[in-house]
Amino acid sequence: MPRSASDAETRVAGDDHAAIRLWLRMLATNRLIETRMRRLLQERCATTLPRFDLMAQLERVPGGLKMGELSKRMMVTGGNVTGITDGLVREGLVERASDPADRRAWRVKLTPAGRRAFTAMAREHERWIVAAFATLSAREMSNMAGLLGRLKTHLRSLEGRVA
């Protein structure tokens, strides 16, 4: 399989541990998929991946989310969430409302126009992801998902332990 010069796997040497080779393959694959998704979202939906991600979080919670919750879910700083939200508010895709349970906090939720825009983008995004994985059979995807799930569980169990 040919690799680009910027591919993480180009650092692999034949005597590297199998875990290192696998980790670099996963990094390279993730970057390829993410780069493609960023490009397609920009070209075909005139949006960015962070904007799409924020809208996806809000689509899952129709009542909206506090800014801090959005920040946690997206694993980005509050400043990043504020900047993305500001742009989406200006475009009428999301709205801010004071949180009745906490007057110091704002809840952000999709507007009806935002929900329609996100639904259209999500349909396209799903089609692109399906195409990206088209080389794998349903069984291969299921096996890979199971293995990655097991790895994810193990990695979470390592948190807080000294190496």
CA dihedral over 146, 49, 84, 90, signed as positive or negative = negative
Torsion of CA 23, 26, 30, 31, to 10 degrees: 60
pLDDT recorded at residue 1: 47
pLDDT recorded at residue 48: 95
**pTM across the whole model:** 0.83
Is 113 in contact with 93 (CB distance < 8 Å)?
yes
pLDDT recorded at residue 77: 84
Looking at residue 145, its amino acid is A
Q: For 47-132, CATH number?
A: 1.10.10.10
pLDDT recorded at residue 104: 83
Query: How do the domains of the chain map onto residue ranges?
Result: 1-46, 47-132
pLDDT by residue, tens only, the chain of 163 residues:
455 556 766 776 677 788 988 999 999 999 999 999 999 999 999 999 999 999 999 999 999 999 999 999 998 888 899 999 999 999 999 999 888 888 888 899 999 999 999 999 999 999 999 999 999 999 999 999 999 999 999 999 998 777 6
